[in-house]
């Protein structure tokens, strides 16, 4: 008997029916009041960390500069330095939270390279575990995420908050 796995959030992504589809999800500099809705975990001076609303795995994070730029070649040195500092911090906090066995880290630059949002450069930090990839994405175009995204957001937000308290940020 065929079992069904419902992932209704995928239709929002596939059809872009979300009310903010025309709005760049990474242009958050002046939208602090929307941090929880946009899943922003941490704000730096030039860049920030947010969760991916359509993750590959649990804890899939995105790190981006506040400036709306499409090409990594246009990132200023101080922005790149902060992005890499946030990458190190995010990896350390993911280690504490969900103990991944590995990571994928990278940027998809340009739509042809796989960038879902090609107009605002961003870095992916994807925690990985043995067995986290199975037949579901291949046959059903569905990813199985073991924890509700809001539960993950709250846990990671607490870790980032503790970091800010510890370093006076």
Which of 130 and 121 is assigned the larger pLDDT? 121
The catalytically annotated residue of 60, 120, 122, 124 is 122
Q: How confident is the model at residue 106 (pLDDT cuts 50, 70, 90)?
A: very high
State the residue range of the domain holding 61.
44-167
Residue 32: inside a domain, yes or no? no
Residue 127 forms part of a structural domain: yes
Count up the domains in the chain and report the number: 1
Share of the chain above pLDDT 90, in %: 56
pLDDT exceeds 80 at position 1: no
pLDDT, tens only, 80-103: 999 999 999 999 999 999 999 999
**41-64 average pLDDT score:** 93
Residue 3 lies in a domain: no
112 or 86: which leads in pLDDT = 86
Residue 4 domain flag: no
What are the backbone angles phi and psi of residue 49, rounded to the nearest 5°?
-120, 135
Which pTM does this prediction carry? 0.76
User: Tell me, what's the pLDDT at 138?
Assistant: 42
Q: Is 120 a catalytic residue?
A: no
Query: Residue 144's pLDDT is what?
Result: 55
Q: What is the CATH number of the domain that holds 89?
A: 3.30.428.10
């Amino acid at each position: 008997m065929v079992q069904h796995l419902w992932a209704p959030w995928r239709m929002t992504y596939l059809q872009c029916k979300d009310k903010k589809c025309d709005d760049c999800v990474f242009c958050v500099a002046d939208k602090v009041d929307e941090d929880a809705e946009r899943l922003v975990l941490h704000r730096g001076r030039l860049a920030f960390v947010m969760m991916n609303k359509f993750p590959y795995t649990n804890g899939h994070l995105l790190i981006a500069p506040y400036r709306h730029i499409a090409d990594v070649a246009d990132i200023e040195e101080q922005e790149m330095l902060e992005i890499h500092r946030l990458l190190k911090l995010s990896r350390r906090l993911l280690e504490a939270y969900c103990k991944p066995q590995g990571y994928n880290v990278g940027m998809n630059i340009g739509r042809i390279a796989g960038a879902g949002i090609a107009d605002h450069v961003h870095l992916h930090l994807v925690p990985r575990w043995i067995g986290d990839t199975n037949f579901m994405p291949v046959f059903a175009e569905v990813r199985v995420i073991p924890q509700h995204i809001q539960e993950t957001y709250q846990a990671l937000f607490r870790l980032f908050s503790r970091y800010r308290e510890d370093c006076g940020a």
